[in-house]
Chain A
Amino acid sequence: MSEKIGKTKITRREFVGGTVLAAVGLAGVEAFGKSSSCGFFADKKNSKKRSLRFAHITDVHIRPEHNAPEGFALALKHIQSHKDKPEMIITGGDHILDSIGENDSTTEMYWTLFKGIMKKECKLPVKYCIGNHDCWGGNKKKSGTTGNEPNWGVKRALQELEMPNKYYSFDQGKWRLIVLDSIVPTDTYCIGKIEDEQFAWLENEIKTANGKFIAIFTHIPIMSVGAYFYGGNNEKTGDWIVPGSRMIINARQLKDLFWQNRNVKLCVSGHIHLYEHIQYNGVHYISDGAVCGRWWKGAHQETEEGYGLFDLYDDGTFEHQYIDYGWQAKES
């Protein structure tokens, strides 16, 4: 928990507040002098090398209505017009409006729309992450599926997006990026969970990272305060209830895993459509808003339509911006 400095043992966990720009909030700061891979007291004046710059687009929820195709094209153009262009796009899931309760042809229409825009507008390599709305037919009654369709459930998303697996990892500079599948479908919707097999795989990925820093991508957040704000009057009911679909239900198990392995620095998620940044036990949890805002009907609560821009550095630090790409939702 600490490093010896002179005679006194101190642990510093810092937080640097706000910036001069407008009403802009703050950020977190690296923490934990005790982490051997972190070296908190090392001189940082040396210019730090960047491992990767990427854009994180989550919750596109593509649909024909509300000018969504135009909005998505604008977001992709915006991402690729940065002077300092991102090297890749990583998605946060929910690429299409919905397929949990949609039949085969509507689901097909959404995927065709999504893939068509990607093909036309995106010149960057893309890494995909599964969202709950990407899994076909979970609600059998509404979708008219039996569950025996060869591409039922997550299989359809894997096929459409040509993903190697539901979860996978890749190394980039001094970082290992791990993309997880946080969706456990239920009869009507889903819960957020990293189930045993995947958890064991994750643990192994973290433990064998060989000095690399870890960034984890899930659709459903591991930690979130935005998860509280989904309607209802909790002041009246006298308690707080967060559905298991809104925050990964075995988050405590993940938190403990991260604490044992101090190389995990960053967890990025979507799902909530709200922007927030939490720092807890030396790990940063960013819920990265939504490309579609309120499903293309404008800002969702206080969060505008946007995407995340990340710079991961060789010393385990990173920078993040949530960027409003300027989409204006049209009336009707």
Chain B
Amino acid sequence: MSNDSKITRRGFIGSSLAIAAGVAGGTNILMPTAAAAAGNRKAKRSIRFAHFTDIHLEPKRNAPAGLAAALQHAQSQKDKPEMIITGGDHFMDLLGAQDNWTQVQIDTLKEVLAKECKLPMKFCVGNHDVWGWDKNYSKTTGTEELWGKKRFLKEFNLENRYYAFDAGKWRIIILDSTHIDDKDVYTAKFDDEQYNWLVQQIESNKDKYICLVNHIPILSAAVLLDGDNVKDGRWMLPDEWMHLDTQKLVGLFWKNQNVRLCISGHLHLLERLVYNNVNYVCDGAVCAAWWGGAFQQCEEGYGLFDLYDDGTFDHQYIDYGWKVEKA
């Protein structure tokens, strides 16, 4: 890979400057160009990390070699990321997997990571990382000691299903989007316990910029175009596709103004949007279409994030060059 640290940025800044409360009308503030922002950035970098979401690993589909290629690619960046943060769905599926097949998937991931990853990793739980919630297919009873999220947490030594850490001027908060639903396995939202903890994290870190990492997007328009979601002349989304508690979260972010960036996966689509001064990035998928090639218009890839001390950031979605072998 060449040219890594000298990316040509043909960008522009489209500002939302005047909607921020307190900015006087009538002032035409000239925004710096993205090129200037990138080339002459004065702010120090707080952290550079790679975001690997939706790996969907299993022994088949040449997936282990694909993940190895992605890890090698990220670690051979000239300006190497300091860590990898995952976006959930590490496994093809644990929701409906029986005990043995669950262990095979877990061991496969451990093997690839042990061999190929020299960077520290932070894990985020996705819906397919939850063992056995689909009791029918998984042949579980729900009374197994490691049923649900416990198995993933234990196997990968996570302190909790949600947690936070500091990186320079930023606080990075890893959250769990998957909430159990008796009707149809799961619902996308933060449960009350987690939401209250998140409020406390945001309110007690006013001197930091906040970056949230969770599996299912809090806000997305691409999700509406993901499938045939038009029914009876309306757009309808199931409760698994996008967070149900978005209105509450948007309100929380607006009130506190320190949340800058929300990163998700789940859709296997690449989308970036700005709403009320918060940036939402849905970051594609390492596996693209579950290792069957590009998913819709999105290639296999990972995100590379630079968070800066002034609350700005850069993001690139990097196609690491994976080619699916045609059978």
Contact = CB atoms under 8 A, between A and B. Distances in A.
Contacts of B247: 228-229, 234-235
Contact of A240 (B1, B242, B272, B312): B242
Interface in A247-278: 247, 249, 251-252, 255, 259, 274-278
Given A20-B312, A240-B241, 19 more contacts: A10-B318, A10-B321, A14-B11, A15-B315, A16-B11, A16-B34, A17-B279, A18-B310, A20-B310, A26-B279, A225-B273, A235-B247, A242-B234, A244-B233, A275-B19, A321-B28, A322-B16, A322-B19, A324-B24
Given A234-B247, A286-B14, A24 B314 contact: no
B101 interface: no
Given A14-B316, A241-B235, A27 B34 contact: yes
B244 A22 contact: no
A13 B304 CA distance: 11
A201 interface: no
B17 A78 contact: no
B31 interface: yes
Contact of A22 (B17, B228, B269, B274): B17
A319 interface: yes
B19 A289 contact: yes
A57 to B, nearest CB: 14
Contacts of B11: 14, 16, 27-30, 317
Nearest to A254: B225
B34 A13 contact: no
B222 interface: yes
Which of B13, B224, B277 has the largest count of A CB atoms less than 10 A from its CB? B13
Given A284-B14, A306-B18, A324 B25 contact: yes
B1 A224 contact: no
Interface stretch (A38-46, A61-69, A103-111, A126-134): A38-46
Contacts of B274: 25-28, 276-278
Contacts of A10: 1, 318-321
B299 A5 contact: no
A18 B312 contact: yes
B8 A43 contact: yes
B137 interface: no
A17 B314 contact: yes
Interface residues of A, number: 89
Given A26-B279, A28-B14, A223-B222, A323 B234 contact: no
8 contacts: A12-B317, A17-B312, A19-B32, A24-B277, A225-B273, A278-B221, A278-B273, A320-B15
Interface of B: 1-3, 7-20, 22-26, 28-29, 31-35, 37-38, 43, 187, 189, 219-222, 224-225, 228, 230, 233-239, 241-242, 244-248, 250, 254, 257, 260-261, 269-279, 281, 294, 297, 299, 301, 308, 310-321
Contacts of B221: 223-225, 227, 247, 278, 280, 285
A6 B236 contact: no
Contact of B276 (A5, A278, A302, A326): A302
Given A19-B13, A284-B14, A239 B239 contact: yes
Interface in A24-59: 24-30, 38, 40-45
A226 interface: yes
A124 interface: no
Nearest to A1: B299
Given A41-B8, A235-B245, A19 B15 contact: yes
A14 B279 contact: no
A234 B244 contact: yes
Interface in A55-95: 78, 82-83
